[in-house]
């Protein structure tokens, strides 16, 4: 039993995220509270921070998207940012993408970049 617990606690690079928790996805007339997993990184080609992730499944998101991409605002306890909501996976988790300032505190990548300036 201890071995199983230790195995579950081991670090897996695919489990890394910058934000894991509750968020609000909203448009001008709709607001949906969902769980999200978000991560991001700086892309030197365009000089911008790109962030992305998935929502948890939620029937209200099905109604919001109507099977199409939707421009939304994503709000976490750390801030908010414009995002695109699209592409539900087979488990009905919607993809979120955005660029620029993320709605979560970025990892050390941005801090490292600012120190080098």
- Tens-place pLDDT, residues 81-116: 999 999 899 999 999 999 999 999 987 544 444 444
Q: What is the pTM of this model?
A: 0.76
Separation between Cα atoms, residue 105 and residue 24, nearest integer Å: 16
Per-residue model confidence as pLDDT tens digits over 22-66: 999 999 999 999 999 999 999 999 999 999 999 999 999 999 998
Separation between Cα atoms, residue 58 and residue 48, nearest integer Å: 30
Q: What would the mean pLDDT of 70-81 be, rounded to a whole number?
A: 96
H-state helical runs in the chain: 2-9, 59-65, 108-116
- 44, with CB counted inside 10 A (0-12, 13-18, 19+), is exposed
In Å, how far are 56, 84, 100, 113, 116 from 47, measured between CA atoms?
A: 30, 20, 10, 11, 14
Residue 94, pLDDT score: 96
Residue 4, pLDDT score: 40
Separation between Cα atoms, residue 19 and residue 4, nearest integer Å: 26
Separation between Cα atoms, residue 111 and residue 107, nearest integer Å: 8
**Positive or negative torsion for Cα 86, 58, 56, 39:** positive
């Amino acid at each position: 039993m201890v071995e199983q617990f230790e195995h579950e606690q081991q670090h897996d690079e695919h489990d890394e995220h910058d934000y894991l928790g509750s968020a609000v996805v909203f448009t001008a007339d709709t607001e949906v509270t969902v769980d999200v997993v978000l991560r991001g990184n700086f892309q030197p080609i365009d000089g911008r921070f790109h962030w992305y992730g998935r929502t948890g499944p939620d029937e209200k998101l099905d109604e919001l998207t109507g099977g199409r991409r939707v421009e939304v605002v994503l709000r976490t306890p750390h801030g908010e940012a414009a995002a695109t909501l699209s592409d539900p996976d087979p488990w009905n988790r919607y993809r979120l993408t955005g660029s620029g300032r993320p709605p979560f505190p970025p990892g050390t990548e941005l801090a490292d970049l600012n120190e080098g300036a």
